[in-house]
Structure 1
């Protein structure tokens, strides 16, 4: 009889040891490993918002937040938060200094293993990006790592720009050919500007008007901010990029099939044509230096005195396809994408305003968009297909952050907070 009882106890013990551990704080729990998931972060200026999931820890007495700052070797307890609160604001953080966070859970006098760490670098900017095929615009933290706000309701958002005087954003929705005005909270306040086949736009903050191009319908139009079309010119030949000098109200249009840059006045009268631009891929305007940068298949051109004689001052070769250009308006340096098909075959380059190579960074996979952060001069690169947003150091080109968004990033802009 004793033998049977002993055998029963062995079988029962084996069954108990094989049973799945349901307590999330049990180190042998196959799912949690005895620790909570890492906290979710984002930053606003000098404050970091920390939140975590509470669903698995109904008996928790406190959530314990640990922090390690740059140049510190160990984590220290920052705060103990009691339920029902499941978030915490860490305030007074130093700009441009990395911070790492972990959390643990306390219950009945027991503290769990610390979670995996998460990293953030707070600062006075946000990165905004259009996610073309997910139909949304996303606001990211200063370092581009974490989403702060997702704005849905777009069909196919593409280009984005900021009106710094009103702290509003303009976003093109390709599907319906509309330009939509959006607040910092993601509220669409105006969607009255409509141009069939809208390709590009430029906002003139001096006169509160928007210039837009339609590549397929050969049109350039001027709208007031209420959406009234004040002027339309239909004599172009596939106009693509448009830029504005906000002091003089002069407009620059890259007229694709004619291979020219056209300069117009506010009334749409053509003042000058600069020919020789067949096969271009990008154009940006540096108003501070009155310089146009134009990207071709295999070289980059600078056009100086854009308001005057429009003189070609530089022609830089050695590219495969200059697909995108972004200007650091303070320094005059430019960042550009040299697009090559294939995984890891493209490059990002940083050039001085005089055309000298400052950085040559290989290993990118079909990068589509650039945005310069004018606070720290770093550059964000978006790989359109992979959905990665990568932050590059302004001096070394080191990849500072990586955000695998899973989306299809088409365009980006950095908002600097006042």
Structure 2
């Protein structure tokens, strides 16, 4: 029979083992599995010439104050400003320079002399404004200039069909086909004009010449022009007898309107509605992007066996098929500075086998990014980078002309379109 001392030792060992593996309920305990002892709820949100700092106040009664550390790469962290009282839960750092990256960390000081710190957060202030369409929400998602954080989420009754940027008025045009609404909104989510009520609007394109929006109405076989006054709900131009037109693209330097329909016909009109050119591609038109300097239109069509890409030349009315095997083309975007075109291929839905390809003006591949599922895209005229909504990783990515991802956004539920304005060097 074991002695009493031996039994006591066994019990004590078991108790000690249990204590060593118990949950650490104190959030500031370094062995807490959830927090690692860090202050939770700390965030640095980039803005234009400022960074907004937020944190969650600690519930401990002996908190004395908070301090904020800031540094850039290669620098030693330094406290900025005076200590913040225990009831404060945020501040704004305005002593920053746009397009430079700053690191921040919060320190909590206790009356006992102890302290606790947050995780490090990073922010790059700038003038860029970013809005994303989310199908999972559905609605609008506004991002910080560096895309690291979500500024706001604005739900909608249904997923928007399309979104386009009006650079003249710095606002967005949005279409809601089921509700029959056309909306205009600023990048911060505020309404930019009254809602236009018209059944089943689809694709929208905005000419930067005056800020006129051309909108396709496939059920009515026509496109209508609205604007340029954001306060107006009236249309001033209608082009009809277009067939089931789902795609419209309006030029600026070349002030013409291109319309593609379900039957594969592409027509080019003057802004007054006079027909200039017509092409028959034999399959449903799914995307058009204009190379205005050459009076060309990159046009994607969907056939029974896959997708085809054409280069339409308005000067001689020719259509040249671009070599290559294309799968699930979702969008096209032209970089006006280089006259290159980006092709977004979704591939098999949710498989991550799509690609983003950059072609030269002659159709030669210059860069290819694979292993993604891109959908709506846009070329940043400031940097030449391509911004793509990337469904596979639930984010928006910025891709360099060489095909490298240089930035990824905060997670977004099913992003499918992105528009940006501003950026490096823009006030």
> 2-side partners of 1:374 and 1:209: how far apart?
20
Per-residue deviation, 1:363: 0.6
Per-residue deviation, 1:351: 2.2
Assess, with a 3 A threshold, how the Cα gap between structure 1 residues 104 and 167 changes in structure 2: closer, same or farther. Answer: same
- Structure 1 match to 2:262: 256
> 2-side partners of 1:158 and 1:92: how far apart?
41
- Structure 2 match to 1:350: 358
Partner residue of 1:370 out of 370, 373, 377 = 377
Deviates more, 1:52-61 or 1:39-48: 52-61
Residue 236 in structure 1 maps to residue 245 in structure 2: no
Task: Tell me the C-alpha RMSD between the 2 structures.
Answer: 3.2
Deviates more, 1:15-24 or 1:168-177: 15-24
Post-superposition CA distance 1:351-391 (Å, at most 9, x none): 23333322111111x32121222332222221236532222
Residue 171 in structure 1 maps to residue 177 in structure 2: no
Post-superposition CA distance 1:143-186 (Å, at most 9, x none): 32211233335532232222222222211123312110112332
Per-residue deviation, 1:123: 2.7
Per-residue deviation, 1:20: 6.1
Residue 287 in structure 1 maps to residue 292 in structure 2: yes
Does structure 1 conserve the Cα–Cα contact (< 8 Å) formed by 2:204 and 2:214? yes
Partner residue of 1:192 out of 190, 195, 214 = 195
- Structure 2 match to 1:394: 401
Does structure 1 conserve the Cα–Cα contact (< 8 Å) formed by 2:261 and 2:284? no
- Structure 2 match to 1:54: 57
- Structure 2 match to 1:183: 186
Per-residue deviation, 1:188: 1.8
> 1-side partners of 2:386 and 2:208: how far apart?
25
> 1-side partners of 2:116 and 2:362: how far apart?
55
Does structure 2 conserve the Cα–Cα contact (< 8 Å) formed by 1:181 and 1:188? yes
Assess, with a 3 A threshold, how the Cα gap between structure 1 residues 378 and 61 changes in structure 2: closer, same or farther. Answer: farther
Per-residue deviation, 1:314: 6.6
Per-residue deviation, 1:52: 1.3
- Structure 1 match to 2:205: 202
Deviates more, 1:126-135 or 1:107-116: 107-116
- Structure 2 match to 1:409: 415
- List aligned pairs for 1:47-196, cutoff 5 A: 47-57=50-60, 59-70=62-73, 72=74, 75-79=77-81, 80-196=83-199
- Structure 2 match to 1:382: 389
Per-residue deviation, 1:200: 0.6
Assess, with a 3 A threshold, how the Cα gap between structure 1 residues 372 and 110 changes in structure 2: closer, same or farther. Answer: farther
- Structure 1 match to 2:251: 245
- Structure 2 match to 1:332: 339
Per-residue deviation, 1:18: 8.6
Per-residue deviation, 1:233: 4.2
Partner residue of 1:220 out of 220, 223, 244 = 223
- List aligned pairs for 1:8-47, cutoff 5 A: 22-37=25-40, 39-47=42-50
Per-residue deviation, 1:230: 3.3
> 1-side partners of 2:77 and 2:282: how far apart?
57
SS at match of 2:387: strand
- Structure 2 match to 1:267: 272
Does structure 2 conserve the Cα–Cα contact (< 8 Å) formed by 1:39 and 1:103? yes
Assess, with a 3 A threshold, how the Cα gap between structure 1 residues 29 and 410 changes in structure 2: closer, same or farther. Answer: closer
> 1-side partners of 2:293 and 2:60: how far apart?
56
Does structure 1 conserve the Cα–Cα contact (< 8 Å) formed by 2:142 and 2:188? no
Post-superposition CA distance 1:296-344 (Å, at most 9, x none): 444432224x3x4344467232323332112222332222212321522
Assess, with a 3 A threshold, how the Cα gap between structure 1 residues 45 and 274 changes in structure 2: closer, same or farther. Answer: same
For normalisation by structure 2, the TM-score amounts to 0.83
